[in-house]
Amino acid sequence: MEQEAQGHAGYRVHVEEVFEGPMDLLVHLVKKNEVDLYDIPIAVIASQYMDYLKMMKGLNIDVAGDFLVLAATLAHIKSRMLLPCCEEDQDEEDPRMEIVRPLEEYLRLKYAAEDLSLRNQLDWDVFARGAPEIAELSEEPSEDLVQVSLFELIDAFKRIVRRVSAEEFFHITVDTISVKSRIGEIVDFLEGRDSVTFEALFEGQVTKGQIIVTFLAILEMAKSQVIRIMQHRASGVIRVFYG
């Protein structure tokens, strides 16, 4: 890769092709130096890490900010190791643990990823039957069950968004969805009853957010005339009528 990069002036390599990320580079260095993960010579590793960053910059590789964050962490650990403060009977733990722990966790998951990729993968190592003789066998599909993933639903939505201008969708936010959700609950509550008191709709709504959402839901429902809101002239009780 080195010769290649030198051969082409202006040739840019994404750092992902070299090291997926800073943790990957660190793993590589620990491995290359054949050092004990639990006793990393931090000065050596930190300086090699910096050399790599310099080299990558020299090769016009985009070095992401993540690499610099880890470089700073390594430098910090190195400086703490130099401080004579923590000699014997130290209460303070080895400063290197700051990097060893995540490294350990990362390695364990890397092994897991390797194990996974060694399994017999469907549609690569093994193949199942497609939907054979489907025309012959599928008469009428079952009525009551439907199988789709959430992602398919989102995909369908995406297709529509692509076709329609975005203004139609700008108001889809977490808040409006909370309101929609509450509308559903209110309809559940109203089903089978003609009317309920306004207050009844706030039962169990304790937080300020819940109350606001319930109120917005009632307004929205009144606006789309799913409900009617009436006040009794004499008692002043507000009732919500369904349908």
Interacting positions 84-103 with another protein (CB under 8 A): 102
Residues contacting another protein: total by CB under 8 A? 100
Contact yes or no for 206/219 (Cβ under 8 A): no
> Which H/E stretch holds residue 136?
helix 134-137
Structure tokens at 132: 């054979």
Distances (CA, A) of 189 to 13, 47, 74, 162, 167: 60, 66, 59, 36, 33
Residues whose CB falls within 8 Å of the CB of residue 18, separated by 6 or more in sequence, listed in order: 1, 56, 61
Instruction: Classify residue 92 as left (phi > 0), alpha (psi -120 to 50) or beta.
Output: beta
> Between 42 and 227, whose beta carbon lies closer to another protein?
227
As measured in angstroms, the least distance from the Cβ of 128 to another protein is 5
As measured in angstroms, the least distance from the Cβ of 234 to another protein is 26
Q: Which stretch binds another protein (CB under 8 A): 39-47, 54-62, 82-90, 131-139?
A: 131-139
As measured in angstroms, the least distance from the Cβ of 33 to another protein is 11
Q: What is the DSSP-derived secondary structure letter of residue 126?
A: B
> Which H/E stretch holds residue 99?
helix 97-118
As measured in angstroms, the least distance from the Cβ of 153 to another protein is 5
> Between 57 and 82, whose beta carbon lies closer to another protein?
57
> Between 173 and 235, whose beta carbon lies closer to another protein?
173
Other CB atoms within 10 A of residue 39 CB: 10
Structure tokens at 111: 């092994």
Site string for another protein, 207-226 (x = CB under 8 A): -------------xx--xxx
| Interface pick for another protein out of 5, 42, 227, 240 (rule CB under 8 A) | 227
Q: Which stretch binds another protein (CB under 8 A): 5-13, 90-98, 144-152, 201-209?
A: 144-152
| Interface pick for another protein out of 3, 14, 89, 124 (rule CB under 8 A) | 124
Site for another protein contains 31 (CB under 8 A): yes
Q: CA–CA separation, 228 vs 226, rounded Å?
A: 7
In the region spanning residues 174 to 213, those forming contacts with another protein, defined by CB under 8 A, are 174, 177-178, 180-181, 183-184, 187-188
Q: Which stretch binds another protein (CB under 8 A): 40-48, 81-89, 129-137, 198-206?
A: 129-137
Q: CA–CA separation, 126 vs 23, rounded Å?
A: 33
Site for another protein contains 2 (CB under 8 A): no
| Interface pick for another protein out of 92, 170, 204, 233 (rule CB under 8 A) | 170
Site for another protein contains 53 (CB under 8 A): no
Q: CA–CA separation, 82 vs 55, rounded Å?
A: 26
